[in-house]
Amino acid sequence: MGILEVKGVNKRFGGLQALGDVNLSIPENTVHAIIGPNGAGKSTLLNVLVGKLIPDTGSVMFDGQSVLGRKPHEINQMGISRVFQTPEIFADLTVMENVMIPCFAKRDGAFELNAIGSVSSQKDIRLMAETILDDVNMLDKRNMHAASMSRGDKRRLEMAMCLVQEPRLLLLDEPTAGMARADTNNTIDLLKEINEKRNITMAIIEHDMHVVFSLAERITVLAQGTPLVEETPENIKGHPKVREAYLGEAQI
Ligand SMILES: Nc1ncnc2c1ncn2[C@@H]1O[C@H](COP(=O)(O)OP(=O)(O)OP(=O)(O)O)[C@@H](O)[C@H]1O
Ligand SMILES: [Mg+2]
């Protein structure tokens, strides 16, 4: 039984079957990659996993509880965080302020502490944010404005904003998209460290096979919304179903 269990998920957008009978089981503390060509349904699946999209049929259980129909802050409180396909950071705030933001919620126009993870005071939040910035090698940039940072740094900042929520499951939508190779390699090392040090289960959507093979223990290949094959990295190279998924494009 995985910490994340997806069963029989279907989702249509009008006449388009974006997800068709998706089943997925991700064991605790593992890294699972979801790959597939553009439009295969990867981001749609991630939206379902964070409760943002309700599937037409099927269930999504995280640690025995359904995620469906929950609000974003409830999903975070359950222990699920997500890095979006496009970084979602506050450009006019500093790095430190960005990392502290997820620990607050706006109520009646005022910011209040949001009970996420183990933080319960403003001092806790500052300490936690500093520890996490140190972990992602950004402590020296804590007073920089997010707008002035490189794409790779913005991605690392977004990861820090997830880690401050002390997730048990981290979902990443193309975490290295648009990065130079050196930044990609740093991100791989960082994700390995996070997975090992913090025991965080990860599901990664990724087009870059170097990233997939460096990190994933299991790989699901999605094509036209349906998982074609789920395998270990060793067994997926040259798999005929992968060629079928990419319609002959050389990917692996
Ligand atoms: N809100 C929506 N309304 C209608 N169609 C949608 C919606 N969201 C996604 N789609 C369609 O569903 C299909 C799957 O899209 P999705 O974004 O999940 O693909 P993807 O695998 O993440 O692709 P990429 O690799 O390009 O990010 C696409 O055909 C897309 O156009
Ligand atoms: Mg996508």
Fold of 1-79+167-252: Rossmann fold (3.40.50)
pLDDT tens profile 54-66: 999 999 999 999 9
242 or 6, greater pLDDT = 6
Ligand nearest to the Cα of 34, by number? 1
Q: Is the CB of 44 under 6 A from ligand 1?
A: yes
115 CA to centre of own chain: 21
pLDDT band for position 116 (50/70/90)?
low
pLDDT tens profile 122-165: 777 888 899 999 999 999 999 999 999 888 888 889 999 999 88
pTM to 2 decimals?
Answer: 0.90
Contact 165, 117 (CB under 8 A): yes
60 vs 93: CA distance, rounded Å: 35
Task: Name which of 41, 52, 51, 49 is nearest 12 in CA terms.
Answer: 41
Q: Is the CB of 18 under 6 A from ligand 1?
A: yes
pLDDT tens profile 10-37: 999 999 999 999 999 999 999 999 999 9
C-alpha 226 – ligand 2 centre gap (Å) = 15
Q: Is the CB of 41 under 6 A from ligand 1?
A: yes
pLDDT tens profile 208-252: 999 999 999 999 999 999 999 999 999 998 888 887 777 655 555
Boundaries of every domain in the chain: 1-79+167-252, 94-165
Task: Determine which helix (DSSP H) or strand (DSSP E) holds 242, and give its type and residue range.
Answer: helix 240-245
